[in-house]
């Protein structure tokens, strides 16, 4: 007997009436009209919890760690009631052959119906053997598991963009999962790690509304990644006023001025930190005095120092930022002009001297 | 046509004979030029201060809006700059042939190459005199094309892409220019390229102003007054 | 290598080879192969790190002030400890002195990590090796309640509470979707707890899952987020402003109160839930004392939690430093990270390349050049489909660090034993261990076991939870005395740095002694090497054939069922492996 989503809601004290209301709200919010409410109710009453297979490649497990920090909903309820976390190496009780068997069974039993959540990424150098699971390259397991998934979630900067192991020179050729998985919807939830409530928010959105969240150009859910840290930063009035922390622990730092001059990447980073905040809303990097390092942006490791605003451009070598490259070019042009002007004046003087001589001779 | 024939033709162009005056730059071109100068000065100064802000102002944040004003100046100038550029493109279509020069490089024209070589040699003090031109000389032409036409497109694309970040997903700026950001590798990289573009333009301006003044004095044709009155007079 | 003897263990690879891969409930990718004799006793053990990310290679040429962020991403489980080690290494190289408050705040964050990591390990990564969830369905909630109330004052212990929980579990099991608990070893004879104890433990598994997210809020307050809070070379990024205007975003009274409430609740949870559970569970497994491995011979700790800022001498540390070799508990050796004779890494059996692989390299001269080569006469499989590894050849992505040539066990057990042996400096450690031994009625030597490691972790969690409260008091006292400084920026600008510099940073990470070594040249990183707790414990063999701590701990353990690796998991888990850390 499989417990359905409806059973779960009922067990959590939700009445039949509010359940039906929920269904009709869902129907209208999906643009389906109230006639569809009974159909949704029927689906919810008979649907088993959605199976989730969570794979880990090259990563640091902080996406899992972040996930279990979720306060609303509680991770406990997510795992016990909302979905069925059927494979997750960091949490599951079984190991070795028993774990491998579990993976095979879920893939078969729920073919086309499970969500694949990926933390970390596959390395492609050395035939993928920089990340081995069960004696095989992780990339193979990833591809096989993706083949029968309904949808794929890319957790964190690793799965979405490559993250730290893909920073230059990327010795293992760590590769974002969308470069090895094709033909499946992939939802990127970047961040190093992403915020816990953003992670559970994305999952519960899919379960509640039975559809994928709307994504932006880069495949991120708009609802959490549609705006920059800077757009909703509570220090923004200080930015607009031109009030900056000039040095760590200076008076401005103690007053909570803007961290722009300390290299804050809030103006160039899409994430929900300044709105949702971290760990049940306690704080976020800027509130605790350090600039945003841009941890949810593609390749943020190779965008120059975390403490510069005008950052290095890697095409010009490690130590070249726009001001250095451009300033040098402008200075060289200026110096060139000065020298050229002097030479021109000299030449002109000589020329008029010689013409004068000619005239004088006349 | 080979290079030598082209050079001979340039040397003996009847249009540029000494004493002749030609109407070159029509009103809209001249007006655009000087408005553009103003915009770029404002854009470069404000842009620089956006990246490297002035020392902090003390007091309540609500009493100040310094960064806000600097950014406002940037965006206001940016709109004028962009509209001006669009009008200039329109004028290239309806204006005289010199109005079109800015938008094309005649790289298949031997005469252009001959002139370019001559102009380079002139700047290296290897020639006594450059050729005379009704419109832009090929060296200047090339620089203007790369550091004004191409650079303006770059600055407008990256600038409006950055601007779209504040206007939000779905804004017209986002729909028209939002694609630039992932293309360049993210928002921070877009800032860097936009910033570098400024230095490209600043470098051009230094060379351009110097060349204009120098040519006015040393070559056989008027320059600065041409960009004011539109008429060019040739000397011996 | 056929049969041979090393470190007192008789290695014999003739029996049936059993592979466990993946090892779950750990961080990262680990494989274990063992040979069982006819009685299912482990006679040869091989542990293999099966991932490598190349952080040491990636760090070259970067700004040393950014290194903490890179190294922090070595691991999200022991989040922050690599960052702290990194800023210490840079500060050591550049001779930067940090303010007293910065030191105290760093201590609080590090202690916070210890408690959090230990708690999550005990309940979510380790408990299911001792606790049978399915058996808990048979428990009598009333008797469970009596059991719970007999061992602790924890309020959530009524019969109704356990009945509700049991009903929820029943529904869950009946749903047929067992999620992370599917296909495990329920009913294996190696499980010894009565159903009531199982039910109580499952209840606390869930409570601990709820509570652990509260503990880390201290990282969020000082570092902006968890996992992966922010750090700063020269101090900490969070300014202190308790008296003046504009204090949102700095450490103010409200923030200090929040820290206070968390440290108090954390201590309460450890005292009233973790420790009683630990003792209750341990009392049923007193007879299962396998898994001691190297712990009775070679243990090491670098020490941590400096009382006064910038004084990293052994006497100033609140977590012990020292090494014991050859099982001589009377002699505690001084450990010096910069002495080229002491710490060396070997790659004879690791998938890396040295110019001379018979020798080890001190981390200042460390080389990290990958060299994937599965081979050897007993290797079975192909390059991309490993069936059996051959421990006589290269067989792991983990390097083999040695201290004066010895394979060492690092971690909570090492620290607690070193503390126990120095009661003057660490009276609280000695007292707690004595009381635990007394309550369980076991001798000191019983500590040198899988169970001892698990107990030491709990004891340490309690010690650190206490220290956390005290360090907060210290922070407040210092602010009260008029000192609000949190960062020293004298050498923030790279133009103030010497042309060349080198330094070492250390911490006691939850899993043990952690060191980073940095060489700086022309303001950029010239070489960066990490030797990590799991590098020590999960180490493969070295040039002399000496085995690492995991391998040693598995030796001579009998399995109840050859096809269910429960005992292997139990012992490996007792180290709390972190493979992302080990290979980095
Ligand atoms: C000649 C043309 C321009 C120059 C020289 C220029 C220069 C600059 C510079 C140097 C910056 C600072 C970049 C950094 O953060 O490193 C900047 C920022 C910016 N520019 Fe421009 N810009 C030009 C045209 C435009 C145009 C056409 C737009 C379109 C709206 C634009 C919009 C912006 C925006 C939105 C920013 C970012 C402001 C912020 O981060 O607060 N710019 N510009
Ligand atoms: C931001 C600064 C400036 C920019 C971006 C700029 C750009 C340009 C451009 C694009 C043209 C070609 C006009 C066309 O074909 O429509 C041009 C021509 C010209 N500019 Fe400027 N200009 C700047 C400043 C100046 C200044 C300060 C002077 C005077 C000293 C000057 C003198 C001229 C002259 C004389 C010409 C005509 C050149 C010729 O006939 O070949 N410009 N400039
Ligand atoms: N081994 C290890 Fe760590 C720890 N504790 C770090 O240094 O876990 Ni990821
Ligand atoms: S994205 Fe960052 S936080 Fe998540 S696993 Fe990767 S390194 Fe860790
Ligand atoms: S602190 Fe950062 S995100 Fe906040 S306003 Fe300043 S620059 Fe923007
Ligand atoms: S560093 Fe990351 S956590 Fe948020 S504030 Fe910046 S995106
Ligand atoms: Mg290393």
CATH of the domain spanning B3-8+26-52+63-233: 1.20.950.20
Please give the pLDDT value at position A73. 94
- In chain A, residues with a C-beta closer than 8 Å to the C-beta of B125 are 343, 347
Strand pairing category for C512-521 and C500-509? antiparallel
Phi and psi angles of residue C36, each rounded to the nearest 5 degrees, phi first:
-105, 140
The residue length of chain A stands at: 362
Q: Which residue has its alpha carbon closest to ligand 1 atom 17?
A: B47
What is the pLDDT at residue A167?
Answer: 97
Alpha helices in C67-194 (DSSP H): 67-72, 81-94, 100-120, 141-151, 159-174
Q: Looking at residue C565, what is its pLDDT?
A: 95
Cβ-defined contact of A299 to B199 (cutoff 8 Å): no
- Least reliable range by pLDDT among A334-343, C64-73, C216-225, C366-375: A334-343
Tell me which chain A residues have a C-beta less than 8 angstroms from the C-beta of C124: 68, 91
What residue ranges in A166-289 does DSSP mark as E strands? 186-189
Tell how far the Cα of B194 is from the centroid of ligand 1, in angstroms: 6
Residue C139 tokens read as 């428990």
- What strands, in cross-sheet order, belong to the sheet with A149-155? A83-88, A50-56, A114-119, A149-155, A186-189
SS in 3 state form for A267-304?
A: HHCECCCCCCCECCCCECHHHHCCCCCCCCCCCHHHCC
Q: Residue A239: how many CA atoms within 13 Å on its side-chain side?
A: 23
Tell me which residue of C570, C576, C572 sits closest to C185, measured CA to CA: C570
Distance CA C139, CA C400 (A): 46
pLDDT value for C506: 98
Q: What is the pLDDT of residues C187-212, one digit of tens each?
A: 999 999 999 999 999 999 999 999 99
8 Å CB contact of C54 and A133: no
pLDDT score of A355 more than 90: no
Q: Which chains touch B (3 or more CB pairs under 8 A)?
A: A
Residue A44 has pLDDT above 80, yes or no: no
Ranges of each domain in chain B:
3-8+26-52+63-233
Among A99, A171, A248, select the one facing C487 at the smallest CB separation. A248
A85/C contact by beta carbon, under 8 A: yes
Nearby residues of C502 by Cβ (< 8 Å), 6 or more positions away: C93, C364, C517, C518, C519, C520
pLDDT of residue A356: 57
pLDDT band at A350 (very low <50, low <70, confident <90, very high): confident
Q: B19 — contact with chain A (CB < 8 Å)?
A: no
Taking the C-alpha atoms of residue C408 and residue A199, their distance in angstroms, rounded to an integer, is 39
Residues of B within 8 A of A297 (CB-CB) are 186-188
The residues near A196 (Cβ < 8 Å, ≥ 6 apart) are A66, A67, A68, A69, A70, A71, A75, A278, A279, C213
Side-chain-side CA neighbours of B165 within 13 Å: the count stands at 25
> What's the pLDDT band for A322 if we cut at 50, 70, 90?
confident
A155 C-alpha to ligand 4 centroid (Å)? 8
In angstroms and rounded to an integer, the radius of gyration of the C-alpha atoms of chain B is 21
C552 three-state secondary structure: helix
8-state DSSP, C377 = T
Count of residues in chain C: 584
Instruction: Over range C379-406, report the average pLDDT.
Output: 98
Residues of A in contact with B217 (CB under 8 A): 348
CA gap A326, A207 in Å, rounded: 51
Exposure of A168 in the CB half-sphere (CA atoms within 13 A):
13
- Taking an 8 Å cut-off on Cβ atoms, the answer to whether C177 and A235 are in contact is no
The reported pLDDT for the residue numbered B67 is 97
List, chain by chain if needed, residues with CB within 6 Å of any ligand 3 atom. C 27, 75, 77-78, 81-82, 509-511, 514, 532-534, 578, 580-582
Mean pLDDT for C495-521 is 98
Question: What is the rounded CA–CA span in Å between residue C278 and residue C123?
Answer: 10
Residue A16 gets the label, from left (phi > 0), alpha (psi -120 to 50) or beta, of: alpha
Any ligand 6 atom below 6 A from CB of A271: yes
Class for domain A49-225, per CATH? Answer: alpha beta
Give the span between the Cα atoms of B208 and B202, in whole angstroms: 10
Task: Answer yes or no: are the C-beta atoms of A171 and C54 closer than 8 Å.
Answer: yes
Q: Does A246 touch chain C (CB under 8 A)?
A: no
Cα–Cα distances in Å, from C339 out to A231, B218, C331, C362, C403?
51, 72, 19, 8, 10
Confidence of residue A23 (pLDDT cuts 50, 70, 90): low
Q: How would you label C135-153 residue by residue, b for 16+ Cβ within 10 Å and e otherwise?
A: bbbebbbebbbebbeebbe
pLDDT band for B6, please (50, 70, 90 cuts).
Answer: confident
The whole-angstrom distance between C428's CA and the closest CA on chain A is: 31
Find where tokens 């729920």 sit: A110
**pLDDT tens figures, A109-161:** 999 999 999 999 999 999 999 999 999 999 999 999 999 999 999 999 999 99
Q: What pLDDT does residue A360 have?
A: 43
**Tokens for A273?**
């930190």
Q: Which residue has the higher pLDDT, A350 or A221?
A: A221
CA distance C295 to chain A (A): 26
Q: Which residues pair with C517 in a beta bridge?
A: C504, C529
How far apart CA C172 and CA A81 sit, in angstroms, is 8
Ligand nearest to the CA of C344: 7
| pLDDT at residue C450 in the model | 98
In this predicted structure, the answer to whether residue C371 has a pLDDT above a threshold of 90 is yes
C107 pLDDT tier (thresholds 50, 70, 90):
very high
Task: Name residue, tokens 């059991």.
Answer: C147
Q: Residue A361: its pLDDT value, please?
A: 44
Does ligand 4 lie within 6 Å of residue A62's CB atom?
A: yes
Q: Is B202 on the interface with A (CB under 8 A)?
A: yes
Tokens of B80: 């004028």
C positions 384-443 inside 8 Å of A (CB): 384-387, 397
- Distance (Å) of CA B220 to CA A98, B111, B115, B236: 90, 19, 15, 6
Q: What is the dihedral of CA C524, C529, C533, C536, to 10 degrees?
A: 180
Q: Cβ distance C430 to C580 under 8 Å?
A: no
- Residues of chain A found within 8 Å of residue C580, distances taken between Cβ atoms: 59-61
- C-alpha B169 to ligand 1 mean position (Å): 19
d(CA C132, CA C120): 18
Q: What is the CA radius of gyration of chain A?
A: 29
- Banded pLDDT at B100 (limits 50, 70, 90): very high
Comparing CB atoms, the residue among B64, B187, B189 nearest residue A242 is B64
If DSSP codes are grouped into helix, strand and coil, which group holds residue C263?
A: helix
pLDDT of residue C544: 96
Q: Give me chain C's average pLDDT, please.
A: 97
What is the predicted pLDDT for the residue at A85?
A: 97
3-class DSSP state for residue C472?
A: helix
Distance B58 CA to ligand 6 centre (A): 28
The CA–CA distances, whole Å, from B95 to B24, B83, B106, C45, C100 equal 11, 17, 18, 86, 73
Closest CA to C535 of C72, C76, C114, C47: C47
Give the A:B interface size as CB pairs under 8 Å.
144
Give the residue, A10 or C540, on which the prediction is more confident.
C540
Residue in A114, A104, A127, A194 with CA at minimum distance from that of residue A154: A194
Percent of chain C exceeding pLDDT 90 equals 97
- B228 DSSP β-pair partners: none
Fold of the domain spanning A229-309 = Cytochrome-c3 Hydrogenase; Chain A, domain 2 (4.10.480)
State the Cα–Cα distance between residues A160 and A144, nearest whole angstrom. Answer: 19
Q: What is the pLDDT of residue A33?
A: 61
Asked whether the predicted pLDDT for residue A27 surpasses 60, the reply is no
The three-state DSSP-derived secondary structure of C489-526 is CCCCCHHHCCCEEEEEEEEEECCEEEEEEEEEECCEEE
Query: Which C residues 183-242 touch A at CB under 8 Å?
Result: 183-185, 206, 209-210, 212-213, 216-217, 219-232, 234-241
Listing DSSP states for A87-105 in one string gives EETTT-S--HHHHHHHHHH
Interface probe with A: pick from C179, C254, C530, C534, most Cβ of A within 10 Å: C179
Relative to the alpha carbon of A321, which ligand is closest? 1
% chain A with pLDDT above 70: 86
**Angle (deg, nearest 10), helices C450-480 and C427-440:** 140
Cα-based angle A118, C224, C512 (whole degrees, multiple of 5):
70
The secondary structure of residue C285, as a DSSP letter, is S
d(CA A191, CA A296): 4
Contact at 8 Å (CB) between A199 and A83?
no
What integer is the mean pLDDT of C336-352?
Answer: 98
Residues of A with Cβ-Cβ distance to B168 under 8 angstroms = 226-227
Report d(CA A197, CA A192) in Å as an integer. 14
Minimum CA–CA partner of A293 in chain B: B188
Residues 6+ apart with CB under 8 A from C460: C114, C118, C412, C415, C416
**Does residue A352 register a pLDDT over 80?**
no
In chain B, which among 28-67 make CB contacts under 8 A with chain A? 51-58, 61-67
CB C449 within 8 A of CB C567: no
Two structure tokens written together for A281: 């809303």
What pLDDT, in 10s, does the model give residues A155-195? 999 999 999 999 999 999 999 999 999 999 999 999 999 99
Residue in the block written with tokens 């005056």: B21
CB B170 within 8 A of CB A283: no
> Ligand 1 centroid to B197 CA: how many Å?
9
Task: Note the pLDDT of residue B11.
Answer: 87
Burial, C341: exposed, middle or buried (Cβ in 10 Å; 0-12, 13-18, 19+)? exposed
Identify whether the C-beta of residue C483 lies closer than 8 Å to the C-beta of residue C474.
no
Give the pLDDT confidence of B176-229 residue by residue, as tens digits.
Answer: 999 999 999 999 999 999 999 999 999 999 999 999 999 999 989 999 999 999
Quote the pLDDT of residue C188.
96
Candidates A51, A163, A254; nearest CB to C239: A254
């Amino acid at each position: 007997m499989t417990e359905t989503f409806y059973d779960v809601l009922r067990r959590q004290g939700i009445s039949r009436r509010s359940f039906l209301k929920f269904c009709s709200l869902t129907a209208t919010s999906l643009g389906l009209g109230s006639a569809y409410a009974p159909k949704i109710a029927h689906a919810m009453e008979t649907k088993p919890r959605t199976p989730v297979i969570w794979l880990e490649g090259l990563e640091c497990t902080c996406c899992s760690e972040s996930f279990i920090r979720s306060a609303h909903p509680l991770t406990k309820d997510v795992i016990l009631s909302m979905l069925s976390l059927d494979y997750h190496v960091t949490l599951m009780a079984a190991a070795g052959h028993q774990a491998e068997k579990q993976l095979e069974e879920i893939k078969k039993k729920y073919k086309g119906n499970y969500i694949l959540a990926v933390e970390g990424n596959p390395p492609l150098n050395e035939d993928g053997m920089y990340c081995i699971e069960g004696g095989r390259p992780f990339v193979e397991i990833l591809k096989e598991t993706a083949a029968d998934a309904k949808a794929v979630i890319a957790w964190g900067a690793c799965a979405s963009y490559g993250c730290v192991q893909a920073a230059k020179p990327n010795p293992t050729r760590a590769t974002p999962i969308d470069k090895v998985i094709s033909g499946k919807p992939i939802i990127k939830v970047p961040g190093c790690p992403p915020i816990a409530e953003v992670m559970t928010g994305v999952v519960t959105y899919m379960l509640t509304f039975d559809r994928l969240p709307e994504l932006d150009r880069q495949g991120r859910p708009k609802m959490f990644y549609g705006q920059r840290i800077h757009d909703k930063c509570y220090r923004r009035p200080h930015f607009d006023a031109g009030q900056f922390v000039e040095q760590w622990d200076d008076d401005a730092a103690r007053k909570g001025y803007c961290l722009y001059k300390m290299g804050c990447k809030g103006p160039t980073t899409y994430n929900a930190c300044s709105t949702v905040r971290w760990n049940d809303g306690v704080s976020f990097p800027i509130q605790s005095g350090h600039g945003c390092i841009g941890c949810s942006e593609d390749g943020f490791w190779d965008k120059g120092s975390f403490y510069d605003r005008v950052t290095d451009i890697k095409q010009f070598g490690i130590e070249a930022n726009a001001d250095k490259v451009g300033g040098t070019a402008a200075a060289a042009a200026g110096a060139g002009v000065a020298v050229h002007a002097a030479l021109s004046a000299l030449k002109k003087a000589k020329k008029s001297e010689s013409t004068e001589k000619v005239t004088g001779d006349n | 046509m080979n290079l030598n024939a082209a050079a001979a033709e340039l040397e003996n162009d009847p249009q540029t004979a000494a004493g002749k005056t030609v109407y070159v730059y029509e009103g809209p071109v001249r007006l655009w030029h000087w408005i553009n100068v103003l915009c770029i000065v404002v854009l470069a100064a404000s842009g620089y201060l956006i990246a490297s802000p002035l020392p902090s102002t003390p007091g309540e944040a609500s009493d100040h809006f310094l960064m806000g004003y600097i950014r406002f100046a940037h965006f206001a100038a940016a709109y004028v700059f962009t509209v001006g550029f669009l009008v200039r493109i329109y004028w290239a279509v309806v204006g005289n042939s010199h109005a079109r020069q800015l938008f094309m490089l005649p790289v298949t024209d031997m005469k252009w190459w001959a002139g370019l070589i001559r102009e380079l040699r002139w700047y290296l003090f290897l020639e006594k005199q450059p050729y005379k031109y009704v419109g832009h000389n090929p060296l200047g032409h090339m620089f203007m094309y790369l550091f004004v036409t191409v650079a303006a497109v770059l600055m407008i694309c990256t600038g409006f892409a950055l601007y779209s970040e504040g206007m939000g997903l779905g804004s017209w700026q986002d729909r028209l220019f939002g694609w630039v950001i992932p293309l360049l590798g993210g928002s921070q990289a877009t800032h860097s390229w936009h910033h570098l573009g400024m230095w490209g333009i600043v470098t051009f301006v230094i060379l351009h102003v110097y060349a204009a003044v120098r040519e006015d004095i040393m070559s056989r044709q008027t320059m600065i007054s041409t960009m004011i009155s539109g008429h060019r007079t040739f000397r011996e | 290598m056929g049969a041979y003897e090393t470190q007192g263990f008789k290695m014999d690879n003739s029996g049936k080879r059993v592979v466990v891969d993946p090892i779950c409930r750990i961080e990262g990718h680990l494989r274990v192969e063992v040979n069982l004799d006819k009685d299912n006793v482990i006679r040869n053990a091989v542990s293999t790190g099966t991932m490598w990310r190349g952080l040491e290679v990636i760090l070259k040429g970067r700004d040393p002030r950014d290194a903490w962020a890179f190294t922090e991403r070595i691991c999200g489980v022991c989040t922050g400890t690599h960052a702290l080690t990194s800023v210490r290494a840079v500060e050591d190289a550049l001779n930067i002195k940090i303010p007293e408050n910065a030191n105290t705040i760093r201590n609080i964050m590090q202690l916070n990590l210890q408690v959090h990591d230990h708690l999550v390990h005990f309940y979510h990564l380790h408990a299911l090796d001792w606790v049978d969830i399915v058996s808990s369905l048979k428990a009598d909630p009333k008797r469970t309640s009596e059991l719970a109330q007999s061992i602790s004052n924890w309020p959530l212990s009524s019969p109704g509470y356990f009945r509700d929980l049991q009903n929820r579990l029943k529904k869950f099991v009946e749903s047929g979707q067992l999620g992370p608990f599917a296909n495990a070893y329920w009913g294996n004879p190696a499980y010894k707890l009565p159903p009531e104890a199982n039910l109580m433990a499952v209840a606390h598994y869930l409570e601990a899952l709820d509570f652990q997210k509260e503990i880390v809020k201290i990282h969020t307050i000082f570092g902006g987020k968890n996992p992966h809070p922010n750090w700063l070379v020269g101090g900490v990024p969070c300014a202190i402003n308790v008296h003046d205007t504009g204090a949102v975003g700095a450490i103010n009274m409200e923030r200090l109160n929040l820290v206070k409430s968390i440290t108090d609740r954390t201590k309460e949870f450890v005292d009233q839930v973790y420790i009683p559970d630990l003792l209750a569970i341990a009392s049923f497994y007193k007879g299962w004392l396998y898994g001691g491995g190297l712990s009775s011979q070679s243990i090491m700790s670098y020490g941590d939690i400096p009382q006064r800022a910038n004084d990293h001498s052994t006497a100033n540390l609140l977590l012990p430093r020292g090494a014991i070799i050859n099982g001589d508990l009377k002699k505690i050796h001084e450990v010096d990270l910069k002495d080229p004779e002491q710490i060396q890494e070997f790659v004879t059996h690791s998938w890396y390349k040295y110019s001379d692989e018979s020798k080890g390299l001190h981390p200042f001269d460390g080389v990290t050049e990958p060299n994937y080569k599965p081979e050897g006469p007993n290797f079975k499989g192909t390059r991309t489909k490993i069936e059996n590894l051959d421990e006589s050849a290269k067989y792991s992505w983990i390097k083999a660090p040695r201290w004066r040539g010895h394979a060492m066990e690092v971690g909570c057990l090492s620290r607690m034993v070193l503390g126990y042996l120095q009661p003057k400096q660490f009276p609280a450690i000695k007292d707690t261990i004595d009381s635990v031994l007394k309550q369980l009625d076991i001798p000191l030597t019983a500590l040198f076991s899988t169970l001892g490691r698990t107990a030491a972790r709990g004891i340490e969690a309690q010690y650190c939870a206490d220290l956390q409260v005290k360090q907060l008091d210290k922070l407040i006292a210092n602010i009260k005395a008029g000192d609000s400084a949190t960062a020293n920026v004298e050498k923030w600008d790279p133009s103030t740095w010497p042309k060349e510099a080198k330094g070492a940073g250390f911490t006691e990470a939850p899993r043990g002694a952690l060191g980073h070594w940095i060489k700086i040249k022309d303001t950029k990183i010239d070489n960066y090497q990490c030797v990590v707790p799991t590098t020590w414990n999960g180490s493969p063999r070295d040039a002399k054939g000496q085995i690492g701590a995991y391998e040693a701990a598995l030796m001579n353990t009998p399995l109840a069922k050859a096809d269910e690796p429960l005992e292997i998991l139990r012992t490996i888990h007792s180290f709390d492996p972190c493979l992302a850390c080990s290979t980095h």
